[in-house]
Structure 1
């Protein structure tokens, strides 16, 4: 028997475009002889509630249609439940979908909900909040917060708002003073950013930010030593040219748990999958191996073998 399918769509498109998207999905699944219940969220706040509703109605496969923030919201509800997450990439960057090998074309991605295979992947967690991609401190959450403020108050487009917020944050260029406990090591860092990845990220070359696996059972920590604006620019250039010097330019290590304390603040802005909230320190990070089942292309499962979930 085919799995009961629920789809939660959250997109910034206008109401007419949302209705058009809903119709396209309905027609697609009717043509595949699949019964799919489709909900369109009017705001990001509705997404977790709809995911919990789909769980209560005993859907086996619950798909998130949107960007990484939408996928995070549904994944946070489904982790450890045994239910399967589906992914319809409708966002700007779609990092999670790309790392899973899911096509960015809507119809091709929807086809995976019909004939894909479930795999188990890890999720990261910080102070009880799940992330499927990464979590960041320092410059990045400040930029995202500034971008959201410009979008909400001044109605900037996403990319102009991001560029303006980046320039504003770089002008101030605040340094984060933090104490980190990583396994049996303690580090004190004055750094513009701290980045925690759910599994290992590529940090050099033109494919920066990609992951080849999501089921290794490890968090990866990345942070620079204290550098100024020009030093940060040089760091980015060396990353593109594949000439970073580990232990001189930055720290990169794998771990199961991380504890981060800010030396001069009890509260920090924390980004998780592109969403920013303020958290009380210390921040407790941990990996939750195999906590999430997700539908992926058959070829992706076959290439990783052990990722298949029965």
Structure 2
């Protein structure tokens, strides 16, 4: 029986409280597909090192977790021959959703064992890899506040987002940035800079999703400077697919590389929903086809 290395982030949103029962379910699921699962339970900080270690000895590595977990694994195995199979166990699983992965655990296991890998892009900022996006400004602050609310109150992530968003609006600040793509750019003042790994839809029917993950492009959106009320209205309109590219953004562009500068030395950014402290200038690039991922 073929062996599969399975790295699980036991802090992932869908992991559950009974680790032994969940592990048994996985072992049985892989066995039903002709594989012996060698399961390693990790916390989020251990995923990157574990993926790097096992990628040298296996041709396909199974990772269970959310977007942050997948990004940590991609940091380790991007550009290598090792294939990545995903069990979507996070809260939102944006990357898995855009890949078209099944949400059923049994179906995800079947795909991880029997599916074929295809190349998809990764994004990189300085020395950090991301699979979805990087945000600077109000979203990164919201993530920081949300995590604080979760730690203090035990609220689930989605509920902690509500008071965190209110605090962000109350403390809203604007960032003066120099953004250069393939050509020099003018200074931009924005409450939120968003850099996506390929293009994100702003249309109502497909809001926040990507139709392609292999175009080799970064999608850059800088929100226009507005009052608190105007930004709240912008957020509501965006949720309903009513964002106006000409009015709501000071920059909308696609490129394979860009550099973001500032008078500040560092910035807190949200990489795939995880807060990282990055040093300016921020050097972004699309790593076209860098990850071999098992997908339909």
TM-score (norm 1): 0.89
**In structure 2, how many angstroms separate the alpha carbons of the residues matched to 1:241 and 1:279?**
32
What SS does the corresponding residue of 2:246 show, helix, strand or coil?
A: coil
Is residue 72 from structure 1 mapped to residue 71 from structure 2 by the alignment?
Answer: yes
What SS does the corresponding residue of 1:230 show, helix, strand or coil?
A: helix
**In structure 2, how many angstroms separate the alpha carbons of the residues matched to 1:241 and 1:52?**
41
Is residue 91 from structure 1 mapped to residue 90 from structure 2 by the alignment?
Answer: yes
Is residue 152 from structure 1 mapped to residue 151 from structure 2 by the alignment?
Answer: yes
* TM superposition shift of 1:232: 1.5
Q: Give deviations 1:6-61, integer Å, cap 9, x for gaps.
A: 111113378852221111111111122112211111x21111122123124x1111
Tell me the equivalent position of 1:162: 161
Number of residue-to-residue matches in the alignment:
293
Q: Give deviations 1:202-235, integer Å, cap 9, x for gaps.
A: 0121431100110001111011121122221232
- Segments of 5+ residues of structure 1 without an aligned counterpart are 298-310
Is residue 254 from structure 1 mapped to residue 259 from structure 2 by the alignment?
Answer: no
Mapped contact 1:5–1:60 kept (Cα < 8 A): no
What SS does the corresponding residue of 2:209 show, helix, strand or coil?
A: coil
TM-score (norm 2): 0.93
**In structure 2, how many angstroms separate the alpha carbons of the residues matched to 1:245 and 1:44?**
38
Deviates further, 16-25 or 193-202: 16-25
Tell me the equivalent position of 1:118: 117
Mapped contact 2:207–2:241 kept (Cα < 8 A): no
Tell me the equivalent position of 1:302: none
Alignment of 1:184-199 (within 5 A): 184-199=183-198
What SS does the corresponding residue of 2:61 show, helix, strand or coil?
A: strand
Tell me the equivalent position of 1:306: none
Mapped contact 1:11–1:90 kept (Cα < 8 A): no
**In structure 2, how many angstroms separate the alpha carbons of the residues matched to 1:19 and 1:100?**
29
Mapped contact 2:16–2:22 kept (Cα < 8 A): no
**In structure 2, how many angstroms separate the alpha carbons of the residues matched to 1:110 and 1:79?**
22
**In structure 1, how many angstroms separate the alpha carbons of the residues matched to 2:17 and 2:238?**
43
Is residue 27 from structure 1 mapped to residue 28 from structure 2 by the alignment?
Answer: yes
Mapped contact 1:121–1:215 kept (Cα < 8 A): yes
- Segments of 5+ residues of structure 2 without an aligned counterpart are none
Mapped contact 1:261–1:281 kept (Cα < 8 A): yes
**In structure 2, how many angstroms separate the alpha carbons of the residues matched to 1:288 and 1:89?**
23
Mapped contact 1:122–1:214 kept (Cα < 8 A): yes
What SS does the corresponding residue of 1:103 show, helix, strand or coil?
A: coil
